Structure 1
């Protein structure tokens, strides 16, 4: 999977998935941006909720016709000093419909422990390379 994220000027960037879908991102007005997009940290919370929501819907397949609503709220507590990473993330899963609570909890736990790539990517090892004027450069 490859994503391109291009600078739009100032603190604005646009993520392009190569399939015709874009996500405008901005640092937000408190950080000097224009606020015309989601912040990268908001996008991370939304990605977590989207990933888990898809999993939960799929796991609850036997109940899909009885489900009226699935909504996930994510509330992240950030570190006060840079880097302002998420120290804690609370995910609240709202389901309306005729579904046993035990099945919803099973779906949430399976998503978190086994299926949600975003939740498990929060533990990923990161590596970097730099390309300057078309040429890869090593760190000095």
Structure 2
């Protein structure tokens, strides 16, 4: 897998994959950037959420027509000094639809433990919450 990341001036870069899809990255304004793109660390969080979302959608295939919303929030805590790597990431999965909580948790766990390359590439401790139809649901195995 290969992507090209091109400097666009100041602290801005554009990542392009082999299909021509692009993601603009920039340092946040308080760090001296223009703030016109996502920060690289924000793209890591977004990549984690996207990877898990794709896995979960595939795992929940029998319920795809019953899912009206799937949204994944990622909140990362970073080391205080450089390098400011993620020390912990909380992943909150929101699913609305007629889907059993056990099936959503199964999809989360399979993504984390088996399928999500991004989650398995991070050194951070990951924790998860599932919000099903607006309510947090516990992991009842």
Measure, in 1, the Cα distance between the counterparts of 2:57 and 2:100.
14
Structure 1 consecutive aligned stretches of length 4 or more whose deviation exceeds 2 Å = none
1:25-36 superposed matches below 5 A: 25-36=25-36
Instruction: Give the Cα separation in 1 of the matches to 2:27 and 2:34.
Output: 8
In the TM superposition, residue 18 of structure 1 has moved relative to its aligned partner by 2.2
Who is 1:43 aligned against?
Answer: 43
2:54 aligned with 1:54, yes or no? yes
Instruction: Tell me how far apart the structure 2 counterparts of residues 67 and 30 of structure 1 sit (CA, whole Å).
Output: 39
Asked if 1:106 corresponds to 2:106, the answer is yes
Rounded to whole Å, the distance in 2 between the matches of 1:84 and 1:7 is 22
Residues of 1 paired with 2:115 and 2:73: CA distance?
19
TM-score of the two chains, using structure 1 as the length reference: 0.86
CA RMSD, Structure 1 to Structure 2 (Å): 0.7
1:60-94 deviations in whole A, cap 9, x for unaligned? 00111111110000000111111111100000000
Gaps of 5+ in 1: 124-140
Q: Report the TM-score when normalising by structure 2.
A: 0.85
Deviation at 1:55, TM superposition (A): 0.4
Q: Give the count of matched residue pairs.
A: 123
Counterpart Cα distance in 2 of 1:121 and 1:81: 21
User: Higher relative CO (CA 8 A, sep ≥ 6), structure 1 or 2?
Assistant: 2
Deviation at 1:121?
Answer: 1.5
| 1:21 aligned onto 2:1 | no
Consecutive unaligned residues of structure 2, counting only runs of 5 or more, are 124-141
Larger Rg over CA atoms: 1
Partner residue, 2:134: none
Q: How does 1:1-140 map to 2 (within 5 A)?
A: 1-123=1-123
Counterparts of 2:16 and 2:2 in 1: how far apart (Å)? Answer: 9
